[in-house]
Amino acid sequence: MTADPAVRRRSRERVTASFSPLQRALAALWSGWEWLFGRLYRLYELPGDPLRVVRFGFRRWDGEETRLRDGTLIRPGEWVAEVHINSPRVMQEWAAAGGSPLALITTLSRHLKESFSRFAVEMQAGRLPVEVRGLYGKTLLHRAVGRVGFEVHDLPQDRSARWLARYERWLLALYHPGGLRHAASAPDTLKVAWMSSSELLRRYGRPGSPEA
């Protein structure tokens, strides 16, 4: 069952009040950066989504040819949707729910499912800016994304992957009152998660709609 929005807000406010002054300052700065990043890169926000926790960046795939479990082949140059998470809101809800690994998985899974249902509606109605072959994202939170339909692939552990892994662990530390010790349980290895458009519609599309 989805918690009342007012309850969620009060829980986030209690968590923020427990932050150290440095944590509050950094969290405020990072919230501003998340807003600016979305505007600079023109991230797609789902119509009618009041929380806007999940946003999407449409781009042409520039990696290697990738075959997914359902047979979908993602070729270089094809349109894909990169999944972006509004980290401040998710991390505050996670901390308010207790800050455990299970609480993080549950919080993120709930937001992804809600957003993917809306995304599927827009796809079936032909209202997306481009026709995408699939959705993907790079993450440390492998268990959470597996629960919502993503398949997880290994990622070359180059400098970029190591930097992004450190960044995600820093976010875990920043948004929890316990700081660094609460980031220790996160996996160390960054991976890439994929879901084909066909799998998205199978899981989240409306029966009887086009492409469902």
The string of pLDDT tens digits covering residues 101-134 is 677 778 888 889 999 999 999 999 999 999 999 9
Task: Locate 158 and state its tokens.
Answer: 């180059």
pLDDT at 128: 96
Residue 61 contacts residue 76 (beta carbons within 8 Å): yes
Q: Per-residue pLDDT averaged across 40-66, rounded?
A: 88
pLDDT at 22: 60
Q: 163 CB contacts (<8 Å, ≥6 apart)?
A: none
Q: Per-residue pLDDT averaged across 137-148, rounded?
A: 83
Percent of the residues in the chain that have a pLDDT greater than 70, as a whole number = 67
Residue with tokens 């920043």: 174
User: Which has more pLDDT, 204 or 48?
Assistant: 204
- String of b and e for 22-54 (b: at least 16 CB within 10 Å)? ebeeebeebeeebeeebeeeebbebeeeeeebb
Q: What confidence tier does 140 reach under pLDDT thresholds 50, 70, 90?
A: confident
Q: Per-residue pLDDT averaged across 38-42, rounded?
A: 75
Q: What is the pTM of this model?
A: 0.76
CA 45 to chain centre: 13
pLDDT at 131: 96
Question: What are 180-196's pLDDT values in tens digits?
Answer: 555 555 556 788 999 99
Q: Per-residue pLDDT averaged across 44-70, rounded?
A: 91
* SS3 state of residue 64: coil
